[in-house]
Structure formats: C-alpha cells, structure tokens
Amino acid sequence: MELLRTIAQREVVIALAIVGAIIATAGHYIVNRSRYPNSPRARLVLRVGYGITWVSIGLFIVAGFLPK
C-alpha cells in the first residue's frame, strides 16, 4: 500500500503524463514523417508513449481513492 501511495503522488503522475506525451508526440512524428510509416519501431514508440500516458491517468484515478 505504501508503494502505491508513493507512485500515486502528484509529482510522479505529472512526470509520467509529460514523459508519455513527449514520447507519443515523437512516435506520431516518426510515423507521419518516416519513409516507412508502418514500421514496427515507429508504432512501438507511439504505443509506449500512449501506454505511459494511460498509466499516469490510472494512477491519478487511484490517487483519488487513497485515504489522505
């Protein structure tokens, strides 16, 4: 429970959201500007960015249910 409380802190959630957005933006740029838009690496970067962003959203929701 203490680990969950630690990773659901405001600073961690915001940092994950920013990092996820930067990676997703870079992945979008790679997919749209590359000679090979369907390359597995480009799609992987995009999906990793979205995944980190979704983890941030999930932790934000969890943080709302944790007792203070």
Kindly write down the DSSP assignment for every residue of 36-64, as one continuous string: -TT-HHHHHHHHHHHHHHHHHHHHHHHHH
Range of the domain at 43: 2-65
Please give the pLDDT value at position 39: 83
Please give the pLDDT value at position 8: 92
User: Residue type for 39, please?
Assistant: S
Distance CA 45, CA 53 (A): 12
Note the pLDDT tens digit of each residue in 10-55.
Answer: 999 999 999 999 999 999 988 888 777 678 888 899 999 999 999 9
Handedness of CA 5, 9, 14, 16 (dihedral sign): negative
Per the structure, the count of domains in the chain is 1
Query: Taking a C-beta distance cutoff of 8 angstroms, is the pair 45, 27 a contact?
Result: yes
Please give the pLDDT value at position 55: 97
